[in-house]
Amino acid sequence: MDSTNWPECMSCEVGHLVPLSDFGAQGAAVHYKAWVCTNPECEYNLKIRNGEIHINEPIIRGARVR
Ligand SMILES: [Zn+2]
């Protein structure tokens, strides 16, 4: 993956925003539904849900380490 193709993170200006895909209610792939910064110390994220844009929501990690 060539990271220079992704837009720079507006928050930390170090990482890049990469698109994530999700699956809709009918099981169809929804592409580019969420974007997240590649810098783990930044975690800036942007999600599109029901036509609304949600910026910098707290990240819910799939695996809880604690
Ligand atoms: Zn960032």
Whether the model pTM is above 0.85: no
pLDDT tens, 35-62? 999 998 998 999 887 788 999 988 777 7
Q: What is the DSSP string of 1-66?
A: --GGGSPBPTTTSSSBEEEEEEE-TTS-EEEEEEEEES-TTT--EEEEETTEEEESPPP--SS---
Mean pLDDT of all residues belonging to the chain: 82
- The span from the CA of 13 to the CA of 35, in Å, is 15
CA–centroid distance, residue 20 to ligand 1 (Å): 15
Q: What is the pLDDT of residue 37?
A: 93
CA–centroid distance, residue 17 to ligand 1 (Å): 7
Averaged over 7-14, what is the pLDDT?
93
Q: What is the pLDDT of residue 5?
A: 82
Q: What is the pLDDT of residue 11?
A: 93
User: Which residue type occupies 48?
Assistant: I
CA–centroid distance, residue 65 to ligand 1 (Å): 23
Dihedral angle over CA of 5, 56, 34, 3, nearest 10: 20
